[in-house]
Amino acid sequence: MSDTRMAPAVGGPADIAGLEPLKTVRLRWPAIIGGVLTLAMIAGLLRELLGQGLAGLGRSLPHDPRFYLCFAALYMSLPTADYLIFRRLWGIPLGGLVALVKKRIANEVVIGYSGEAYFYAWARSHAKMVAAPFGAVKDVSILSAIAGNAITLAMIAVALPLGRSLLNPEQFRIVLGSAAITLAMSLPFLIFSTRIFSLPERALWWVFGVHCVRLLTGSVLIALAWHYALPGVSVGMWLFLAAGRLLVSRLPLVPNKDLLFANFAILLIGQDRTLSELIAFTAALTLLVHVVLLALFSLHALATRKPA
């Protein structure tokens, strides 16, 4: 007797219903990644604050309000530069600045380039505005690193002859070796640029220029902020130290960059305790602003959240 049972039709309602959860996950993955990275930011900030961050806030506060104005401009220089870039590339609204501030926070308190992952997830969640965001996010990130390396090498060329007497032979070799590695890291992107970058050449040069201006502006702002905090030191000396700060931050062979910069600054201007407190306070104030902004963004998101 033959089996009269019929196999379920391929592509029937049962199969389609089974695929719905997968479709939902595909649609919601940008929000899921964004939420995970936001939690990672909160955890990273708590770790930093419970470490040396709270101690840094207990240092001597600068009394000149111009210090805080310059600090605020410095803090917003990176997300503002990114906003100008993506405003031109994608036409993002002003609300995109919030995502770019979170991108900066993630890069500083989670792991490197986690901010790019967060911003990519944000861009994908705005798919009607941004069709294929990966290429632009990748290009802007690479150009930011190349611009940083280029400015660093230029500062090495200017500062090394002036500061040669401040370095012992071992430190001098480390700086030269780091400069060579910095140059080597940028060369592959320049040699194979046609295969690596997806943006048009004109857009690439514009993005590179914005990053260079942002880096130079940031160095001037931090120099002015420190000058207003310690007016006994000339602006010119602070500019030299700001160049050294940018230089030290990008040297790949230096294990403790903050300590090296602090020692270098103390050798130049003295005032070791006052200067150490100023550097610690600046770092702690950055963490505090991270916490405040992330809390405000989270409260705003909860207040404007649409009911399911």
Residue 16 lies in a domain: no
* pLDDT at residue 46 greater than cutoff 90: no
What pLDDT was estimated at residue 24? 42
User: Which band of pLDDT confidence, cut at 50, 70 and 90, is reported for residue 268?
Assistant: low
Residue 166 lies in a domain: yes
Q: 306: which 2 tokens?
A: 């649409």
Of residues 149 and 249, more confidently modeled? 149
* pLDDT at residue 3 greater than cutoff 80: no
The angle that helices 96-109 and 13-48 make with each other, rounded to 10 degrees, is: 60
Output phi, psi for 59, to 5 deg. Answer: -70, 175
DSSP string across 176-236: HHHHHHHHHHHHHHHHTHHHH--S-HHHHHHHHHHHHHHHHHHHHHHHHHHHHHSTTS-HH
What span, in angstroms and rounded, lies between the C-alpha atoms of 135 and 173?
38
Mean of the pLDDT values across residues 77-87? 96
Q: Which among 258, 284, 290 has a CA at the least distance from the CA of 57? A: 284
* pLDDT at residue 278 greater than cutoff 60: yes
Domain, as residue range, for 172: 30-48+66-303
What span, in angstroms and rounded, lies between the C-alpha atoms of 178 and 172?
10
What pLDDT was estimated at residue 271? 60
Of residues 78 and 41, more confidently modeled? 78
Q: 78: which 2 tokens?
A: 């990176």
Task: Kindly give, in sequence order, each residue whose CB lies less than 8 Å from that of residue 35, ignoring residues fewer than 6 positions away.
Answer: none
What pLDDT was estimated at residue 55? 54
* pLDDT at residue 9 greater than cutoff 90: no
* pLDDT at residue 18 greater than cutoff 60: no
Of residues 308 and 188, more confidently modeled? 188
Q: 1: which 2 tokens?
A: 């007797």
* pLDDT at residue 63 greater than cutoff 80: yes
129 close to 90: Cβ distance less than 8 angstroms: yes
136 close to 90: Cβ distance less than 8 angstroms: yes
Cα separations in angstroms, 55 against 51, 153, 225, 282:
8, 34, 21, 12
Cα separations in angstroms, 234 against 223, 229, 272, 281:
10, 11, 16, 20
Residue 14 lies in a domain: no
* pLDDT at residue 76 greater than cutoff 90: yes
Residue 10 lies in a domain: no
Residue 143 lies in a domain: yes
What span, in angstroms and rounded, lies between the C-alpha atoms of 35 and 65?
36
Q: Any idea which of 52-56, 160-164, 213-217, 275-279 has the lowest mean pLDDT?
A: 52-56
Amino acid at 233: V
Q: 250: which 2 tokens?
A: 């990008």
Amino acid at 259: L
pTM: 0.77
Residue 24 lies in a domain: no
* pLDDT at residue 107 greater than cutoff 50: yes
What pLDDT was estimated at residue 143? 94
Structural domain count of the chain: 1
Burial 261-295 (b: 16+ CB within 10 A, else e): bbebbbeebeeeebbebbbbbbbbbbbbbbbebbe
Task: Kindly give, in sequence order, each residue whose CB lies less than 8 Å from that of residue 172, ignoring residues fewer than 6 positions away.
Answer: 164
Residue 57 lies in a domain: no
Cα separations in angstroms, 77 against 23, 25, 119, 165, 269:
39, 36, 17, 33, 27
Q: What is the mean pLDDT of the chain?
A: 77
The gap between the terminal CA atoms of the chain, to the nearest Å, is 54
Share of the chain above pLDDT 70, in %: 68
Residue 6 lies in a domain: no
Output phi, psi for 240, to 5 deg. Answer: -65, -40
